[in-house]
Amino acid sequence: MANLTLENLKKSFGVVEVIPGVDLEINDGEFVVFVGPSGCGKSTLLRMIAGLEGVSDGDIRIDSASVVNTPAADRGVAMVFQSYALYPHMTVRENLSFGLENIRMARPEIERRVSDAAQLLQIEQFLERRPKQLSGGQRQRVAIGRAITRDPKIFLFDEPLSNLDAELRVLMRIEITKLHERLGNTMIYVTHDQIEAMTMADKIVVLRKGVIEQVGAPLDLYNNPRNLFVAGFIGSPRMNFIEGSLSHSDTGQIMFEAEGLQPLPLPDTNPSLGARERVTLGVRPEDFVISREVGAGWPVTVGVAEQYGASSYLHCTLKGDIPVLIHEAGQSLARRGDVLHIAPRGSQWHLFDADGLAVGR
């Protein structure tokens, strides 16, 4: 149905270049998530695809036909807005049929489509209500329904769940995933939320300042971030970073040294990894081996120990006041002031060179 190609796509607002040039290929039926810090251009990119924002340079092709000069309504894409943008004065039914009436679709066909969409999204019983009379999740569903009735080739979502509370987010996240499985359309989804990106995407696109930093499957990005930015951005809580240098031990082991800390042998290293002056070691909170024995790794002092019930997060500090966050499954027994010893687990560590690029193990 719909492949989408962005080719050297650029966007400037006045003299400010927001998107300096993006190349991206999205295959038919893929669920692609755009993530990136606030202001990095995610929405702009999405709105350019939708046709709500003009293109400064480059090309957007849907099914290999350029659409940069096609009006928004005729591109065959549908957008679900962050604030839903439901017409507050229309009933749900009218919201769903407004777009179809605008193209003078026959009444029976409109009704068929509206009821199909309503059934799919289980909002049949709300059809005569106004958006105000719906809960957040129901509104979200109506917004999606409005997109569905138009039978678009591509769905665009701009942070569709950010206005919902935590519980509802979990539910809607799963519903959208299921919807994607059922409809099989191409979907592009912008979010700030780590979990959404990780759990929903076929492919995550990480953006920074309008530039694509890495594209890949979620676990791929999680396990093999291409650079420091992606490593720090993907995963919540964040990966711990410790700056230091690499050296070879007497035994040929590769050792990581940081100021004031005993050198730590890195497990499972690639022998080709040479000594380096300035590297950053990255270890995710769950990737530490914790022990109470002296000598088993770096000593850390527990600050706040947060007990979530199912798991615990220990906010610790390494010598030199470097904060380290440690995840412990289950209910931790550690208390403020305890000293633990930590070392990276197996191959679960990452190294980045002075430019922030990942160094192969």
Partner 1 sequence: MYGVQRLVGIKRMPWVFLIPNLTAVLLFALLPVFINIFYSVSGSDRLFPWDRTLIGGANYATLFDCTNYLDPSTCSRDLFWRALGNTMVFVPIQVTVMIGVALITALCLNRDIRGRGFFRGIFFFPVMLSPVVVALMWQWILQRNGALNGLMGAVGLTPVNWLVFPNTAFFWSVFITVWAHMGFYTIILLAGLQAIPRDVYEAARMDSASPWRSFTKITLPLLKPVLLVVFILAVIRSVQTFDELYVLTGGGPGSATMLMVQYIYEVGFASQPRNFGLAAAASLLLGLALLIFTAIQMRISRGGTDD
Partner 2 sequence: MTDLGMVKSGSSIGAFITRRRGRKRLDWTDWLTYVYLLAGLVIMFTPVLWVVVSSFKTPANLTEFPPTLLPYAAETVIVEGYDDPLPLFDVTTDEGETVRLAQLRRVGINAQMIDPANPEERLTIPVENAEPVRQIYLAGENYTNLLSSTGGMIWRYVFNSLFITVVATIITLIMNSMAAFALSKYRFRGSNMALVAILATLMIPATVVLVPTYMIVAQLGLVGNLWGVILPTVATPTGVFLLRQYMLTIPDELIEAARMDHASEWRIFWRIILPLSAPALAVVAIFSILSRWNDFLLPLVVLTRRESYTLQLALASFQTEYGIRYDLLLAMTTLTALPLAFAFIFLQRYITSGIASTGIK
Ligand X SMILES: Nc1ncnc2c1ncn2[C@@H]1O[C@H](COP(=O)(O)OP(=O)(O)OP(=O)(O)O)[C@@H](O)[C@H]1O
Chain residues that interact with Mg ion, rule: CB under 5 A: 43
Cα-based distances in Å from 178 to 30, 96, 214 = 13, 21, 26
Q: Which partner, ligand X, partner 2, Mg ion, none, binds residue 341 by CB below 5 to 8 Å per kind?
A: none
Q: Given the complex with a second copy, which of 15 and 166 has the nearer CB atom?
A: 166
Q: Given the complex with partner 1, which of 125 and 133 has the nearer CB atom?
A: 133
Q: Does 109 bind partner 1 (CB under 8 A)?
A: no
Q: Amino acid identity of 216?
A: G
Distance, CA of 228 to CA of 220 (rounded, Å): 15
Q: Which residue has the tokens 């930015």?
A: 229
> Cα 193 vs. chain centroid, distance in angstroms?
6
Query: Buried b vs exposed e over 7-23: b needs ≥16 C-beta within 10 Å?
Result: eebbbeeeeeebbebbe
Q: Which partner, Mg ion, partner 2, a second copy, none, binds residue 43 by CB below 5 to 8 Å per kind?
A: Mg ion
| DSSP letter assigned to residue 150 | T
Distance, CA of 352 to CA of 281 (rounded, Å): 7
Q: Does 75 bind partner 2 (CB under 8 A)?
A: yes
Q: Amino acid identity of 26?
A: I
Is 94 in a helix, a strand, or coil? helix
User: Strand 350-352 vs strand 276-283: parallel, antiparallel, or unpaired?
Assistant: antiparallel
Taking Cα atoms as reference points, which of 171, 84, 177 lies closest to residue 131? 84
Q: Which stretch binds partner 2 (CB under 8 A): 26-34, 149-157, 162-170, 336-344?
A: 149-157
Work out which of 16, 38, 71, 132 binds partner 2, going by CB under 8 A: 71
Q: Does 246 bind partner 2 (CB under 8 A)?
A: no
Binding residues (CB under 8 A) for a second copy: these are: 165-167, 170, 174, 177-178, 192-195, 198-199, 218-219, 222-223, 234-237, 284-286, 304, 306-311, 315, 327, 329-331
Binding site for partner 1 (CB under 8 A): 50-52, 71-74, 77-79, 81-83, 85-90, 98-99, 102-103, 130, 132-133, 146, 150
Binding site for partner 2 (CB under 8 A): 1-2, 50-54, 70-79, 81-83, 85-89, 98-99, 102-103, 146, 150-153
